[in-house]
Amino acid sequence: MDNPSSRTPHRPDPAGGCPHADNARLLARGAVATVLLPGEVEGAAVLGHEALREFLAHPDVAKGAEHFTALREGHVTAGWPLLTFATVQGMTTADGDDHRRLRSLVSKAFTTRRVEQLRPRIVDLTDGLLDDLDAAARDGGGVADLRRHFALPLPMGVIGELLGVEAAYLDRLHHLSNQVVATDIGPEQVVAANRELVAVLAAVAAARAENPGDDLTSALIAARDEEGDRLSQQELIGTLVLMIIAGHETTLNLITNAVRALCGHRDQLESVLRGEADWADVVEETLRWDAPVSYFPFRYPVRDLTLDGTVIPRGTPVLAGYSAAGRDPAAHGADADRFDVTRARRTGAVRHLSLGHGAHYCLGAPLARMEATIALRRLFTRFPDLDLAGPERDLTRHASFVGNSVRALPVRPGAARP
């Protein structure tokens, strides 16, 4: 039986970068890797598909920060860049009855029926943003940043409407959530970003309390005020933090990564345009092949846990290695590192864990899939010749080993179809 303490730990690059080469190297050693997180905090990452599937649903794995040994013993400082992931009060850091209580308060906004009701609004928003992308390209000599003008404002606009957040707040909330997700910023920036994010969302909540509407924030405030035992003020703000970050960062990266993948694999794009695969296939293959989240923090074994022959000590902060699991050859075959939008039709399904598994499976997964599918279909229908404005290798990667994408995506949309 392997003990991770006997290995040289992997240091995830705080500045981000493409994770796939490191993932392949680590997977060759095993499904579980020891890691050294920023601040020399010892942790682990689960990388293999089957090991991660088991870990995410394991009854001896918890999400509550009280199980984080280094934090409990005072070895993690207030300016630690990953602290919010551990200590924010909400669904992603709750277990058992608390998790079920918090999830139930939010789940009504993400039922199949409610998500489907959003379809016309998402289509309208998408078409308006395509106009903006076209205008930006004309102003920019034929080149525009697809991430800035399309992939970002679409999910940000949708989650803003769901939460009842005024448009004036959205740019600032994206900037602050970007800093929360970043792993390369200093302690003072970490503290300042988290304080401001809480302050902005407290202002949003106060505005909704004074003028409630048909939105999730108003519903959460009602649960806090009418049935105080169902939601505390800290949980209200924590839930808004999680909803803003998870509600747009994942879909933003998904759309960006899908466009990059299709532009880099024109044969695959042609397969979709010929009807040999559909846009939903593109979304699932992108989720597998280039997951929008690379390493998601944290889960903690509540006892020493043996996973795929490796012991993970109790209280270890563990990263869920979604990008690694998506290209695990043991699960996806010898061509796991190949982008293939026909994979589902050849194999019967595209298995991936990129939206989670078990009790903490992503509540917004149906909405993210809908947004991305609509976005890609309408983007390439209107701009079938859209391509990257430069080589893929010149794109600057996201400054985080949590998120997996690029900071900007300059494209040449080409001539628009009427």
DSSP letter string, 196-215:
HHHHHHHHHHHHHHHS--SS
| Mean pLDDT score, 290-297 | 97
Residues in a beta bridge with 412: 387
Q: Is the pLDDT of residue 3 over 60?
A: no
pLDDT (0 to 100) of residue 229: 62
Paired tokens of 75 = 């070895």
Closest of 71, 106, 68, 65 to residue 88, by C-alpha: 65
Burial of residue 235 (number of CB atoms within 10 Å: 0-12, 13-18, 19+):
buried
| Lowest mean pLDDT segment, chosen from 1-5, 41-45, 271-275, 338-342 | 1-5
For residue range 118-147, what is the model confidence (pLDDT) as tens digits? Answer: 999 999 999 999 999 999 999 999 999 999
| Mean pLDDT score, 51-77 | 96
Q: What φ, ψ does residue 290 adopt, rounded to 5°? A: -145, 65
pLDDT (0 to 100) of residue 324: 98
| Mean pLDDT score, 227-252 | 86
Closest of 129, 63, 177 to residue 379, by C-alpha: 129
For residue range 161-204, what is the model confidence (pLDDT) as tens digits? Answer: 999 998 889 999 999 998 988 898 888 998 999 999 999 999 99
**β-bridge pairing 318-321 and 41-46:** parallel
CA dist., res. 240 & res. 334, Å (int): 41
For residue range 93-110, what is the model confidence (pLDDT) as tens digits? Answer: 999 999 999 999 888 888
Mean pLDDT value across the chain? 92
pLDDT (0 to 100) of residue 6: 53
